[in-house]
Chain A
């Protein structure tokens, strides 16, 4: 069960500042449970950000990205009505895709 990625896009001229927060535990594989056993790593491994369906960033992540990963960047040539999407895959094979429409 995965929670939606929260995506915010704010138009500034011909650009848009995009902020997103994915919902993921990002277990580092370094922690131990109360019994002293290592909790296996479980984290997002691949991220693709799209603008109107076209990939603008692809990323590979390790367990060092914080829990509920946050990402901010500036998208060039973005207008109200454009779509911004975020897709991720994790180390257990789960995946999630979310998309929003930029509002003025």
Chain B
């Protein structure tokens, strides 16, 4: 527990420094087990997850989501890829307070398609990002309009 607390304190200290330097738009919260979960932008989240190149769109990454979601508390999305050499599949919602929703480490034992439900605080672009073993980040994007925000959920 000490090491985790220590890590969180360090993370918060760094975030405070960044905030003081004007590099961090909001103070980081001391929650989550990875700095990437405190990311405020898609580019920042993918970089913190280890992508070495800027994310590029790819037709081989799939993202299914409704065009209009009535309830932002439960928006069903399916993320997948037909690419080989994918290390992680990542779901991001651009305008959520925490951009990064989930990171899935894939193995060969499953088909690289996952369905889950995400919260959306407001209408936003949703990204499915495939992080490749070679450091590339490939994404698919869809705009989802939310009738009732899920921030209160």
Contacts and interface: CB of A to CB of B under 8 A. Distances in A.
Nearest to A42: B31
A59 to B, nearest CB: 5
Interface residues of B, number: 38
B59 to A, nearest CB: 21
A67 B73 contact: yes
Interface residues of A, number: 35
Given A29-B29, A64-B118, A72-B116, A56 B107 contact: yes
B116 A65 contact: yes
B98 to A, nearest CB: 5
Q: Per DSSP, are chain B's interface residues mostly helix, strand or loop, or mixed?
A: loop
A45 B13 CA distance: 22
Contacts of A45: 32-33
B114 interface: yes
Contact of B100 (A30, A64, A71): A64
A6 to B, nearest CB: 14
B113 A73 contact: yes
Interface string B71-109: 001111000000000000000010011101111111111
A54 B107 CA distance: 11
B107 to A, nearest CB: 5
A65 B109 contact: no
Interface of A: 15, 26, 28-31, 40-41, 45-46, 51, 54-67, 69-77, 91
